[in-house]
Structure 1
Amino acid sequence: MHDAYTPTFFTRHNRPLRGVMIDNQPWFVGHDVARMLGLQHPQSLHRRLQPHETQRIHLRYATESEEPVDVINEAGLYKALVRFGHPESLHLDSWLTREVIPTLRDQYAPDGPAPRRVMMSWQQRQMMLLEWQGELWVAWEEMPRLVCDESSTPLEL
């Protein structure tokens, strides 16, 4: 039987991005990356990457079902951002490097005294938090989004 990986789901503009750690390296579902870059034919992404930047794996879901998918590594991800120049690429790059990849790495890091990033779902969106010394911490730049959301009234502190 083959190894199956349980993906971590990230969401940006209602589009999912599934990521897994393979041999301590982040890998992402190519079809999800292609959708985020607005590619009409997701398979074109794999044709433009080197063989060592892509592989086929099985993802396991909570329903005990498995799905074969093509994944790309971190280098392939950044290559795709540059090569397929999407208008959102700059913001997408920032989101990937500041939230997605560190969170994925932290999930698979051994438990210890160091702070680690965690994702929390709250009011139909995901938030990045820092877990440290048994407490959850919010990044200062996230406070405006937390305190005043367009779809709700301001929170009282």
Structure 2
Amino acid sequence: MTDYQTPTTFRRFRLPLRALLIDDRAWFLGRDLAKLAGFRPDLDLARKLDPNQLRSEVLRLEEGTFSTELLVNESGMHQLLLVYYYHPEHRGLRSWISDEVVPALGRQSSTGHQPRRRLMQWQGHELNLMEWQGALWIRYEDLPRMQGQKPGRDALVGSQIP
């Protein structure tokens, strides 16, 4: 079973900034931050930032694909924009991230313990599960596939819940 996160996409000047909260800290996709700030995303950020300012995570992107992405935390973002790639126009970018993006991420997570998505390999297939309240949940439609059966359209017609 692989644990993955789904980032929230914010837009500034038609460019995406995907971000998420991990352990109540804001993390941003390094390549999105690079595009917004105008530096090459293939630069070695690991040499510029401290180890606690970077991490790699498996993310589920908008297209439904999974990708291992390099994430930069808020402290690393400020260091990149103030020290390594300083430009006077980055003040607006830093303000937007600090004043709008980070509070929006906090509002999303303030509703209490949120369910987490998980991906599980089962008999050569990938199944999307949800971990919530200490249990793993699966969609009803995926049960026949777990049992090795092919679900038919008429499988649910005869069974009605009273």
Return the offset for 1:62.
5.2
Q: Deviations over 1:62-101 (max 9, x none)?
A: 5542111000111111111102113421111111111111
Question: Residues of 1 paired with 2:41 and 2:7: CA distance?
Answer: 23
Gaps of 5+ in 1: 112-157
**Equivalent position of 2:25 in the other structure:** 25
Contact 2:27-2:71 within 8 A present in 1 as well: yes
**Equivalent position of 1:110 in the other structure:** 111
Greater Rg, structure 1 or structure 2?
2
Contact 1:30-1:42 within 8 A present in 2 as well: no
Question: Residues of 2 paired with 1:82 and 1:3: CA distance?
Answer: 33
Structure 1 residues 26-35 or 42-51, which shifts more?
42-51
**Equivalent position of 1:154 in the other structure:** none
**Equivalent position of 2:72 in the other structure:** 72
Contact 1:56-1:70 within 8 A present in 2 as well: yes
TM-score norm. by structure 1 comes to 0.65
Aligned positions, number: 111
Question: Residues of 2 paired with 1:62 and 1:38: CA distance?
Answer: 23
**Equivalent position of 2:7 in the other structure:** 7
Give the letter for the 2:40 counterpart.
Q
Runs of 4+ in 1 over 6 A off after TM superposition: none
Contact 2:31-2:41 within 8 A present in 1 as well: no
CA RMSD of the aligned region, Å?
1.6
Partner SS for 1:43: coil
Q: Percent identity?
A: 35
Contact 2:4-2:58 within 8 A present in 1 as well: yes
Give the letter for the 2:103 counterpart.
P
1:98 equivalent in alignment to 2:96: no
Return the offset for 1:47.
2.5
Taking a change above 3 Å as real, the CA distance of residues 38 and 61 of structure 1, as seen in their structure-2 partners, is closer
TM-score norm. by structure 2 comes to 0.63
Return the offset for 1:30.
0.5
Quick one: higher RCO (CA 8 Å, sep 6+), 1 or 2? 2
